[in-house]
Amino acid sequence: MAEEEQVCTPAPAASSGWDAILADPPWTAKSFLAAGAAMVGGLASWIGNVTSPAMAQMAGSYLGGFLIGWAFRRFLRMAAMLAALVLAGVAALKTTGWLELDWASIETQLSQGMRWLQGEAEGLKNLLTGILPSAGAAGAGTFFGFRKK
């Protein structure tokens, strides 16, 4: 009788945090590559005194917006997972009686934190609209970057 050989397959290498974050990088999107090519072409024609830098500026704004949207989607995913873990931990500690919460104080802290975050987000928006010359292209890039899965 012949014994069947067992084939051992190597275990997959442990993925690092960067592998998870860059699982689907933004530079694989067709619109990102097209905007990159448009930016390079616009810069080349501007350097050659053929056209104005408007095409390069719009393409650069789209690329910047795309990267912002992609990063924001990744941030929201991780923040949601972290918030779920924290809420599950608080719920477990509260049901076991190990934790007593002062809800009035928590509500005050949350409202103050939200006001601070809203002010910081407004400042970031003003900064980005000052840096990115074309707000329309940056907005479109942000939308498509956020949708990139």
What interhelical angle do 103-131 and 135-147 show, nearest 10?
A: 130
Inter-residue contact 61 to 138 (CB < 8 Å):
yes
Average pLDDT over residues 46-67: 84
Inter-residue contact 139 to 65 (CB < 8 Å):
yes
- The reported pTM is 0.64
pLDDT at 84: 94
Judged against a pLDDT cut of 90, whether residue 88 lies above it is answered with: yes
pLDDT above 90 as % of the chain: 15
**Distance between CA atoms of 34 and 59, rounded to whole angstroms?**
9
Judged against a pLDDT cut of 60, whether residue 144 lies above it is answered with: yes
